[in-house]
Every structure is written in C-alpha cells, then in structure tokens.
Amino acid sequence: MSTAEATSGGTAYATVEAVIRAQLTKALGGRRGIVEAALPTIAFTVGWIFTEDLRTSLIVSIGLAVVLLAVRLIQRSTPQFVINSLIGIAIGAFFASRTGEAKDVYLPGILYNGGYAAVMLLSVVTRWPLVGFMIGSVTGDPTGWRKDPGIVRLCSKLTWLLMIPCLIRVVVQLPIYLIWGNSGVAAMGVAKIALGWPLQVAALAAMVWVLARGRTPIQAVPGAASTDDVKPS
C-alpha cells in the first residue's frame, strides 16, 4: 500500500491525524495567544467589579487590547489573536453602548457560541463535518476527504468535541444574562474566562487523544495531492 504526503507551510504530513493536530495547534496560538485572548475580558470584568461603570470598564478593556496589539506590531509578530480579542471587545462595546446595559458586552459571545454550535451540529448531521475542511485546506482538495466514510466519521467525532464547549458556554451564560441582568455581569465575566480557553484546551486535548489512536494515510482522501509512493517495509 502506498503512502502519500500533503504539504502545508513547508511541512509534509503523512496521515490525516497529523494534519488535524497541526491545524489545531496553529488555531490555538500557543500560551501567548491564550493569554492575549483572555486579558481584555479579565480587564473589563475587574473594571466593572471595582467601578460598576460601563464606560470606564470598556476603556480599560479596549485600552489593554490596543497595548497588546502595539506590542505585537513592535515585535513584528502575528497580531491575529490580539486582533480577534479586540474585535470581540469592540462588538461587545457597541452592543452595550447602544443599550446602556453592561451585560450586553457578553451578548455577542453568547450569540456567537450558539450560532457556531448550530452550524457544527448541522455540518455533522449533513455529513459535512467542519473539521474535514482542515484536511482539505492542506491536501488541496476541499471536499475530497468526504468520499472516505472512515475520515468522515473521524471528522464528525472531532467536530462534536469542538461543539461541546460552545454548548456549555451558552447553557451556563445565557441563564445568567436573562435572569440576573446587570447584577450578573461579574458572574458572566468569570464564566466567560473559566469557560473560554480552559474549556477549549480540554476539548482540544480530547481531540488529540482521539487523533493519537489512529494513523489514517493522507492517500485515503480521494483527490489529495500526493508525492512519491513509499513501499511498506
């Protein structure tokens, strides 16, 4: 049986599992990316706890995100995760400034997680699991992986694992938002931090465990770009 390799960013991958592990590691952004994503939310929550003033809390949060972005630019390193965090805070600030309710800072995040979970569930039900497109982005064939039932099943499992954190966030935060209102702002902030990257890391760890159990050759993805065949020993 011959084995093909897919290449991304100069790195060759021989198995589907290796492709997905590499893509997940890239998406996580390392320790610094995790910290940068969490700090603006922490700043807003702490600011609200001490001042209970929406404008002051937003200024502190956005100001910190801008400082983190400036540091990235000065160091000429990728600002992707800081920008993502800044966009999230900006959208939340827009919602809150329109209503005057501090709790609405967290509404976009709740809606995003609910929508993302719905899309992932739909992708699994229709047998187009989102994780499969990670394989397609590396093999050069966006949909070729779907022709292999084994890969579709693997990607469906991994998509479920990605979806669970989104569902948990909605289940925990939405009742606080609806029932507690502004008195639950601090609780929503703590919940967002606790259910943010820690929960995501746990989900990714579960995905890595699933991936570590198998070695599906890249050639199993019909239409995948292949290199020289390698004969088995």
SS3 of 137-205: HHHCCCCHHHHCHHHHHHHHHHHHHHHHHHHHHHHHHHHHHHHHHHHHHHHHHHHHHHCCHHHHHHHHH
Task: Supply the pTM of this predicted model.
Answer: 0.71
Q: Report which of residues 226 and 63 the model is more confident about.
A: 63
In angstroms, the CA 232 to CA 149 distance is 24
For CA atoms 112, 116, 117, 119, the dihedral sign is positive
pLDDT over 90 percentage in the chain: 26
Return the domain boundaries, the chain.
Answer: 8-220
Q: Which two tokens stand for residue 233?
A: 């020993």
What DSSP element (H or E) covers 7? strand 6-8
Q: How confident is the model at residue 221 (pLDDT cuts 50, 70, 90)?
A: very low
| pLDDT tens sequence across 157-194 | 989 998 999 999 999 999 999 999 888 888 998 888 88
Q: Which two tokens stand for residue 1?
A: 């049986």
Angle, in degrees to the nearest 10, between helices 149-175 and 197-212: 160
In angstroms, the CA 200 to CA 194 distance is 10
Instruction: Say which residues have a Cβ less than 8 Å from residue 181's Cβ, sequence separation at least 6.
Output: 101, 103
| pLDDT tens sequence across 62-120 | 999 899 999 989 998 888 778 888 888 889 889 998 888 989 999 999 999 999 999 99
In angstroms, the CA 170 to CA 167 distance is 5
In angstroms, the CA 103 to CA 48 distance is 10
**Which residue has tokens 């400082």?**
67
